[in-house]
Amino acid sequence: MGPIGENEFFFLMQGLKWTVLLAVVGFIGGGIFGILIALLRTSKMKVARRITAGYIGVFQGTPLLMQLFVVYYGVALLGIEVNAWIAVAIAFTLHASAFLGEIWRGSIEAVPKGQTEAANALGLHYVSRMKDVILPQALKISMPATIGFLVQLIKGTSLAAIVGFIELTRAGQIISNQTYRPLLVFGIVGAIYFIICWPLSHAGSGLEKRMAKAAR
């Protein structure tokens, strides 16, 4: 068994950097497209609602692992050369946009109808109504679920290793193969995930409890 020293720890930190960066890119990119999907899902256009419902259904109904494979190898079949980082970033953005779009769609519909009626009575057009009245309330309602999804997204980055992307879990696997100390290595990897995810989960639970008390 080999020792786990500074080099191995630094390699894990490099993997952690890519894990965090991938989660951030996927969450921000997914958030941008997710807002558009949520708005289309709640629009009066029947075709837009059906298309976005189908889009969400595809990503919610298939494993993230399969989505990574399809994006990584599907793009290559089109004759476009992309490295693993770009492929997984695209896959995570698409995945996150579907889930966040559905979360925020539910939050928009959870805003009391009286708010929309009041905005209409004031003569606010659609953009102002959504930007100034509906979305601020909807995003507040969605915070616990949004944070919960972010936690799942961070843990889901471990699947990116399947297409050769070296994030935290893959870095741990490489070090484990070199040192023959899998229990110690993956114990450290698990502890790092816990340090990142537990505060977020705790914050999400706290928000949910505070919102439940405020609603009483």
pLDDT of 78 > 90? The answer is no
Percent residues over pLDDT 70 in the chain: 97
Q: 183-214 pLDDT, tens per residue? A: 999 999 999 999 999 999 999 888 878 877 76
Sign of CA dihedral 171, 173, 177, 182: positive
pLDDT confidence band for 99 (50 / 70 / 90): very high
pLDDT of 61 > 70? The answer is yes
176 part of a folded domain: yes
102 part of a folded domain: yes
182 part of a folded domain: yes
1 part of a folded domain: no
34 part of a folded domain: yes
| pLDDT at 215 (0 to 100) | 59
Kindly provide the b/e burial profile for residues 14-34, where b requires at least 16 CB atoms within 10 angstroms of the residue's own CB.
Answer: ebbebbeebbebbbebbbebb
pLDDT of 168 > 90? The answer is yes
| pLDDT at 110 (0 to 100) | 92
| pLDDT at 84 (0 to 100) | 86
Residue 86 and residue 72: Cα distance in Å, rounded? 9
Chain centroid offset of residue 117 CA: 33
| pLDDT at 1 (0 to 100) | 62
Closest CA relative to residue 32, chosen from 94, 123, 119: 94
pLDDT of 118 > 90? The answer is no
CATH number reported for the structural domain that contains residue 171 in this entry: 1.10.3720.10
Percent residues over pLDDT 90 in the chain: 65
When pLDDT is averaged across residues 165-194 and rounded to a whole number, the result is: 93
| pLDDT at 2 (0 to 100) | 61
36 part of a folded domain: yes
pLDDT confidence band for 28 (50 / 70 / 90): very high
Helix residue ranges per DSSP H, 42-134: 46-60, 64-77, 84-110, 113-121, 126-128
The whole-chain average pLDDT of the chain stands at: 91
Encoding tokens for residue 189? Answer: 């990897």
Helices 135-156 and 6-41 pack at an angle, to 10 degrees, of 140
Question: Who wins on pLDDT, 124 or 134?
Answer: 134
| pLDDT at 143 (0 to 100) | 93
Domain count, the chain: 1
| pLDDT at 216 (0 to 100) | 58
Range of the domain at 155: 6-215
